[in-house]
Structure 1
Amino acid sequence: MSLRTYEADLFEGFRGRLEAIAYRMLGSAGDAEDVVQETYLRWHAADRERIETPEAWLTKVLTNLCLNQLTSARVRRETYVGQWLPEPVLAGDRMLGPADTAEQRDSVSLAMLTLMERLSPNERAVYVLREAFGYAHREIAEILDLTESNCQQIHRRARQHLASGRPRAEVDAAAARKVVEEFLAAALSGDTEPLVRLLTDDAVGVADGGARVPARRSPVVGALGIARYLRGLFRPSAAKRALAGGEPVLYSAVVNGGPAVLVSIDERIAGVICLHTTTDGVVAVHLQVNPDKLERLTRRWAASGPHLPFSKMW
């Protein structure tokens, strides 16, 4: 069945929302784009005259594609080299979706996307659709072919798994720049004590190189351990510059709603350091250096320039 112009336009009107759902479900912008494209192909092939509510139909198709993807992703991540972290997304990217409420903003933070890996596929779907997009339990039940009471139970269970006692600190570009400025001043000082003061005692540091770039393969736990790890990363050396293939330049940015340091080499984003800040301090440092997960961010960063650098790294 051919796709008429207004039906193609109708799908494009939903594309941003579908991408945002898929990104929260999968933690990967690339995978999200793939399942949205597959949803489009199914929309193209469907008998659209029998579809009463296009948004509900598209959301159901997309969600089920994501559930299938999550199942296979779990198998792939069992053999993933080192730590797996979500793909970082720059502020302003429609992949982030709505950000009107604290729940919507928190659901797309790298810390929350990482925590959501603990959930079963159904728990993740219910949590995302309810918390980030405000679907009623009745609507979610129809999407997942479950009972409404079962959806409510799954939602409660998911919230319990993801419960955090410390509220996330709200940041805008100015606040993020201040956090990054303090972090870089501490990291570039060559001393651990300034970094320790910024981190909470139980802070966690995780790096994802995906076997493409050397990165620590186990989490670093505790303020002192993370401070020593970061001091080693920021300590200048000719060997590091040779391995990196250039001199890293540091920028401040907002990534997934939080403050972040972008590491640029020859106008390519080679690393992203995301800082998860709460009222108590920095509770998580996520370092993404897997080049496969930095392509989209690099394109969007280049398109939004020029940018004022903070300093050079080495």
Structure 2
Amino acid sequence: MDEKKILADEFEANRAHLGAVAFRMLGSRAEAEDAVQEAWLRLTGVDVGNVENLGGWLRTVVARICLDMLRSRKLRREDAISEKEPDLPSAAGTASYDPEYEIAMADSVGLAMLVVLETLGPAERVAFVLHDMFELPFEDIAPIVGRTTDATRKLASRARQRVQGTSVSPEADRARRRSVVEAFIAASRDGNFEALLAILDPEVVFRADEAAMRLGSEAVLRGPAAVANAFKGRARGAKPAMLDGALGVVVEAGGRTLLVLHVTLKGDRIIRIEAVANRESLDGLEVILFERDQRIDAIE
């Protein structure tokens, strides 16, 4: 089998995922297909012999293409969403039908979500989609949007606040999220494994930066059992807090912030936890701790 055929086969294996990424960023099936096709053209024009993770490389390329398209769209002042419903794909009308692709598409958008995403700036939209929808670490997103890791985290945080406020009132949503985080802290502190399992999403992922790893954290954990075991009995100094405007957890030791946990919810369960202990990152973080029984909307 020649090298070009192998490359084409690997690209096709990633096409569904790339299409889902592009569609969530762009909100247009036609533009998403254009972005994926452009990624293929770029792939054939470079030497990828030293690329260890071709899927990750392709996702980065597609993200950069989409970012350029969003910026161009903004400059042209074009409306990305027409008055009719978005062109969601269907099995009957798609020549290269892929069930996984269709599920990802249908799950990702509705008109309301697309409308909200269109209010975001290009970099905010890319940061939000890659992090909250595809679990890409901020360290990997930062070079794509041309920002520092902390600035990229703030981009996603602002975008998340807008998206989460679309279906329910901001106060009710913040109260719901806080109750989940507080339940997580309590279950961790009490060593209640079953309660932790009930709070964690089946697809939960935990990631730690290098500084947190030096404190004893694993780099990556996947699945509720692994994450629950890691946190069981380990939240003695943990407190709920607002981290750059997003709900999270501060862990203190000796009156000093040891690390923070950026927490992402899916419904009423935690689907992602990021442990950050890098001192430079902590120093640049806006942290607001809650007083006992304080309403979350009272400090915002």
TM-score normalized by structure 2?
0.47
TM-score normalized by structure 1?
0.45
